[in-house]
Amino acid sequence: MLLIAFGSVVAMGLPIVTALMSLFVGAAGVGVLSAFMDVPEFSLILCMMVGLGVGIDYSLFIVTRHRQHLHEGMSVEDSAGTANATAGQAVLFAGTTVVIAILGLFLAGLPAMTSMGVSVALTVVVAMTAAITLLPGLLGLAGTKIDKLSIHRKAHVTKPAHATVSGRWANHVGSHPVRYALVGLVALCAIATPALKMRIGTPDDGNAASNTTQRKAYDLLARGFGTGFNGPIQVVMELPTPADRVAVDRVRDALQADPGVAAVTAPVFNVAGDTAVLVVNATTAPQDKRTDALVHHLRSDVLPVSVAGTGATARLTGQAMIIDLTERITNRLPLFIAAIVAMSFLLLMIVFRSILVPLKAALMNLLSIAAAYGVIVAVFQWGWGNELIGVHHTMPINPFAPLMMFAILFGLSMDYEVFLLSRIREEYLATGDSHQSVVTGLSGTARVITSAALIMMSVFGSFVLGGDPTGKLFGVGLAVAVFLDATLVRMVLVPATMSLLGRANWWLPAWMERILPHIDFESAPKAAEGIEMEPERELVAA
């Protein structure tokens, strides 16, 4: 895909080398991190998934800008410096939004989620650092030979915006903004509808590939001892006095009489005799929603009655702990989403000096992520086409998936938002024409954003080929979200809403204009360009 995008073997190799080097360093950093905090095994899979994607994408943006300056007649040194000062600064901002979104996992209040988020954030930091340090050095080494080994027959020719496919499309959408805004909105809402039926739960080994040892062991245990044997519920009883031991027998009898319980083991006491443990096997599988209902029923109805009149207490763990974890993550999800959206809104408002632009960006990102949730529910929970990706049983959605997907996707969506809207804003400041700025901005960024999205989809989609159902879920969800973001959002909703609102897009109250800091990462400095700037470019730089 990079070869097609750049048309040059040399240019193609630079982002790949940079991404791989950053991935190696990032993985080593995660190894060091594991000496100070517990890092889940799945963290490394996410680090590879996200690190490869952003590493190639960030390098792609800088190399594209560098080649553009070379074609305009700059020297290699000035071109690399200017690309790093413009696209490189945009990479830093975009990468920072990804890191902030991922570090929002601290709000989940779970050590496993926190360490997973820190691992992925560390990988992103290494990727964007490599893009602005290692890559400029590689651009200098490549020099004027960056376009060597070209597969394109025609020389590089810069077409005017209205002559490109993306430019003509943006002009068409901008001429009918209401129609396309409604079409894009309805399409995303329709795809997102299954997310309303999402059931959060922890998949068990019954979802593993049929040739794996854990799946074979799971099936053997289920056939020999019942499906509930694979997800035992432990009852831990605290007995302050010897007289409270009578409560243990009462609890066991009540559990055995419950229709949702298949078997209860004899109680095991500690040496002191003040603690007892019983193991309960449900009649249903661990990921069955009836097992969740059984846990709630035992806690609210069975155990309180059984220990009434004694000083004993009974608590549930084992499979019940997994259910509790799922509910805690689900309850924290709204706070997590609200915090990330608010923080991203503030950052985009500072960059684009606007109220409506960051508001629209947040809403459209939420829609594309909701659509991704809808797809994973349809495929993994409902079973639509799941056998095509090697999943032969339906399963609930892993509780970590909505949190991690939201953090990663919201950050990545902001990447594309920054690169597209910064170009649109640059053109608007230069011309004052709202419609034409959208056409020119989309025309100038469509190729690189499309290439970046295809690369992301390839990286995420490749994890569908693995044997881990959770890895497949992340791969499908992330790939679909990037696809929707690069098509329905960037190519339909953004130009339609930008054209519909016109000059109102860039409205900002005067008092906010005075207090907000100024950030401008798309205007090339005059000293770096080494050429005389046009009057409108001087205005933009100022």
Please determine, for residue 248, whether its predicted confidence score (pLDDT) is greater than 60. Answer: yes
**Model confidence band, residue 77 (pLDDT cutoffs 50, 70, 90):** very high
Residue 358: name the closest of 186, 497, 521 by CA: 497
**What local confidence, expressed as pLDDT, does residue 351 receive?**
78
At 204 the three-state DSSP class reads coil
Q: What is the CATH number of domain 1-158+509-542?
A: 1.20.1640
Span 407-425, average pLDDT? 79
- Hey, where are the domains in the chain? 1-158+509-542, 226-323
**What local confidence, expressed as pLDDT, does residue 161 receive?**
55
**Model confidence band, residue 200 (pLDDT cutoffs 50, 70, 90):** confident
Least confident of 13-17, 382-386, 418-422, 494-498: 418-422
Contact 437, 431 (CB under 8 A): yes
174-194 confidence digits (pLDDT tens): 888 899 999 999 999 999 999
CA–CA distances in Å: residue 271 to residues 274, 275, 276: 8, 9, 10
Spatial neighbors of 539 by CB under 8 A, at least 6 apart, are: 429, 430
**Model confidence band, residue 379 (pLDDT cutoffs 50, 70, 90):** very high
> Average model confidence (pLDDT) for the chain?
84
Report the distance separating Cα 470 and Cα 325, nearest Å: 17
**What local confidence, expressed as pLDDT, does residue 521 receive?**
53
Least confident of 220-229, 279-288, 411-420: 411-420
At 477 the three-state DSSP class reads helix
Rg (CA), the chain: 28
Span 226-243, average pLDDT? 92
Give residue 263's region: left, alpha or beta (phi > 0; psi -120 to 50): beta
**Model confidence band, residue 540 (pLDDT cutoffs 50, 70, 90):** very low
At 270 the three-state DSSP class reads coil
Residue-wise burial string across 280-303, b where 16 or more C-beta atoms lie within 10 A, e elsewhere: bbbbbbbbbeebbebbeebeeebb
The runs of H, that is alpha helices, within 72-110 are 76-103
Please determine, for residue 537, whether its predicted confidence score (pLDDT) is greater than 60. Answer: no
Contact 255, 278 (CB under 8 A): yes
Report the distance separating Cα 420 and Cα 167, nearest Å: 13
In the structure encoding, which two tokens stand for residue 4, read together?
Answer: 């097609």
What is the enclosing helix (H) or strand (E) of 510? helix 510-515
CATH topology of domain 226-323: Alpha-Beta Plaits (3.30.70)
Residue 130: name the closest of 17, 2, 13, 27 by CA: 17
Residue 189: name the closest of 500, 484, 494 by CA: 484
**What local confidence, expressed as pLDDT, does residue 298 receive?**
95
Look up tokens 């609102």; give the residue: 501
What is the enclosing helix (H) or strand (E) of 199? none
Please determine, for residue 319, whether its predicted confidence score (pLDDT) is greater than 50. Answer: yes
**What does the longest C-alpha to C-alpha distance in the chain come to?**
93
Report the distance separating Cα 456 and Cα 123, nearest Å: 16
Give residue 333's region: left, alpha or beta (phi > 0; psi -120 to 50): alpha
- Better pLDDT: 21 or 361: 21
| Fold matches, 1-158+509-542 and 226-323 | no
**What local confidence, expressed as pLDDT, does residue 459 receive?**
83
Please determine, for residue 48, whether its predicted confidence score (pLDDT) is greater than 60. Answer: yes
Count CB neighbours of 251 within 10 A: 26
Report the distance separating Cα 520 and Cα 244, nearest Å: 71
- Better pLDDT: 327 or 253: 253
Span 57-70, average pLDDT? 87
Least confident of 28-37, 201-210, 312-321, 395-404: 201-210
**What local confidence, expressed as pLDDT, does residue 209 receive?**
73
Contact 375, 191 (CB under 8 A): yes
Count CB neighbours of 137 within 10 A: 11
Span 490-512, average pLDDT? 86
Please determine, for residue 302, whether its predicted confidence score (pLDDT) is greater than 90. Answer: yes
**Model confidence band, residue 425 (pLDDT cutoffs 50, 70, 90):** confident
